[in-house]
Amino acid sequence: MSLSRGVWALEDVALVLIDYQKEMFENVRSETSADLIDLNVRFLIKAAKSFDVPVVLSTVGVKMGVNGPTRASIRDELPGHAVIDRSSMDAWEDAGFRAAIEKTGKKRLIFGALYTEICLAFPVVDALRDGFEAMFVVDAVGGMSQLAHRTAIERLTAAGAIPNTSLALVTELFRDWKSPVSDKARDVIKWYLPEVQKLAAVAAGA
């Protein structure tokens, strides 16, 4: 029986973040705004750090001069953290990226990436092929169009990846207000919810 049929626990997972770079953010045209994607990614990082969940961070084309680095707001959440820069749009094809995944020792991978249809879809389907379990965070990703984003979600779920959302994921990982990490979870959630409200207020006034 696949472990995917049960809820996921923080001890079993690694967080994998791919290509949250300026150029990608500028071209997001799907339902979650670029600012909300940024916030949700930072929320996931804060939760991962609080829960001692390993994080793999990757970029594409920085050394080649094609793209800029990870967006500063996200990079600042991971000071001193190694970044795997690649040439391949499919991170799974990069030896350094695969080595970083293997180093975590985790078989359950939580993915976020820009764009949904390319830099998320390709490594997720390859990870599934290679025996990993994959979850992706729908409101922490975005596509170059709503159609591209939605088609990629359909492709990923058909392949066996599990869709989730940011707050639902964080609560799934700790799940019990009496757990050893509940105080840390509470602090992260208390930070997050007002930030979501601020973005909503800005959007409403636009």
Q: Give tens-digit pLDDT for 15-42.
A: 999 999 999 999 999 999 999 999 999 9
Q: Give tens-digit pLDDT for 155-199.
A: 999 999 999 999 999 999 999 999 999 999 999 999 999 999 999
Is residue 5 in a domain? no
| pLDDT at position 1 | 35
| pLDDT at position 203 | 86
**DSSP H/E element including 104:** helix 95-104
List the domain range (segments joined by +) for residue 24: 11-205
Count the neighbouring beta carbons within 10 Å of the beta carbon of residue 148: 18
Is residue 6 in a domain? no
- What is the bridge-based pairing of β-strands 13-18 and 55-60? parallel
**Which CATH number goes with the domain that contains 107?**
3.40.50.850
10 Å CB burial of residue 72 (0-12, 13-18, 19+) is exposed
Position 206 pLDDT exceeds 70: no
Task: Return the closest-CA partner of residue 161 out of 63, 16, 52, 10.
Answer: 16
Is residue 94 in a domain? yes
Number of folded domains that form the chain: 1
Cα separation, 16 vs 137, whole angstroms: 11
Is residue 97 in a domain? yes
| pLDDT at position 204 | 86
As a whole number, mean pLDDT of residues 91-117 equals 98
Is residue 56 in a domain? yes
Torsion of CA 31, 35, 41, 46, to 10 degrees: -140
Total residues found in the chain within this entry: 206
Position 2 pLDDT exceeds 70: no
Is residue 39 in a domain? yes
Is residue 34 in a domain? yes
**DSSP H/E element including 44:** helix 34-51
Instruction: List beta partners, residue 13.
Output: 108
Is residue 1 in a domain? no
